[in-house]
Each structure stands twice: as C-alpha cells, then as structure tokens.
Structure 1
Amino acid sequence: MDLRQDIKLGAPEEVRDFVSAAAKCAFDVDISYNRFIIDAKSLLGVLSMDLTKILTVSCMGYDCQFEQTLNKYAV
C-alpha cells in the first residue's frame, strides 16, 4: 500500500511529534518537497526541509496511529 498525504509542519514540537510517530512505523516513510526526498524518521532531515511549504508524505505501509498523526497535520 502506498499512501500519499500533504502536510504542514511549523513549530519544532510538531516536527518532533511527526518524526516520533514515523519512527514507530515498520515501513519506509518519506517526506518530500519538489525534488528533495528525506527519510521522515530523521529529525535533522525533516528540520532541514523548508517548513514554510506544504510537504508530501509517502508511506509504504499502513499504521493506524501514524495515520492519526498525518491527519493532525494534513492540509
């Protein structure tokens, strides 16, 4: 299953919450903007993204708790 969701992260606490939820997933989670693709389980990687932009999350699996986190930051 390949899920794509657009999200918006602002404060560092939101990034920490998102990365923590992604890290619990047993499958790959990527976050992208334009041509840049980052492992969503990497706090420094996500913080290096332009957080003023809408980011796209791609999941290679399904996790109910992670979907709740995605919905919290969905645009």
Structure 2
Amino acid sequence: MKTVQVYLNSIQKVNSFSHELEQFDNDFDLVSGRYIVDAKSVMGIFSLDLNEPTTLNIHATDSEMGPILEAIKPYIVSEDPK
C-alpha cells in the first residue's frame, strides 16, 4: 500500500480523478478525518470535506504502482516516502 495526498477542489477534478482510477482493478480509499470512502465513487468523494488535501490509500503491488501514480499525478500534492 502507498499513501499520497490529493487535492480535489473542483467538480471537474473529482470526475476526472474518479475516471482515472476506474481503469485499474485495484482498491483506492480516500480518507478525510474519520471518514473513508471508495475513491472510485464520485458520490463518496463528494461526501468528504474537499477544502483541504485528502489522503489516498492505494492498494497495489510495487509493479502496479508506476502506472497508477502516473495516471493520478495531476492530483497529487505530496507523497508518503514509504
């Protein structure tokens, strides 16, 4: 698992972010405070506070991580060095 901070501050960003994740079979969790939602769910994303960056947990192997990070690169504001 890898953790990154993403910033989804507009409707367009939420829609395109969710669409990018749909191309992968992996699980993605968005965490905001005590809430955790499926990052592929547009409705779930909109239930979170999007005024601040949100934590994205990517459940993938090391070999799958490269294409995923490349696809979501425009939304990432910081990465966990792990």
What TM-score, normalized by structure 1, do the two folds share?
0.87
Cross-structure match for 1:4: 3
Q: C-alpha separation between the residues in 1 aligned to 2:12 and 2:70?
A: 16
> Unmatched 5+ residue regions in structure 1?
none
Q: C-alpha separation between the residues in 1 aligned to 2:71 and 2:31?
A: 17
Amino acid at match of 1:52: N
Runs of 4+ in 1 over 6 A off after TM superposition: none
- Which of the two has greater strand per residue? 2
The CA deviation at 1:54 is: 1.3
Cross-structure match for 1:19: 18
Give 1 or 2 for the bigger CA radius of gyration. Answer: 2
Amino acid at match of 2:72: L
Cross-structure match for 1:68: 70
Identity %: 25
Aligned residues: 73
RMSD over equivalenced CA pairs, Å: 1.2
Cross-structure match for 2:80: none
The CA deviation at 1:70 is: 2.6
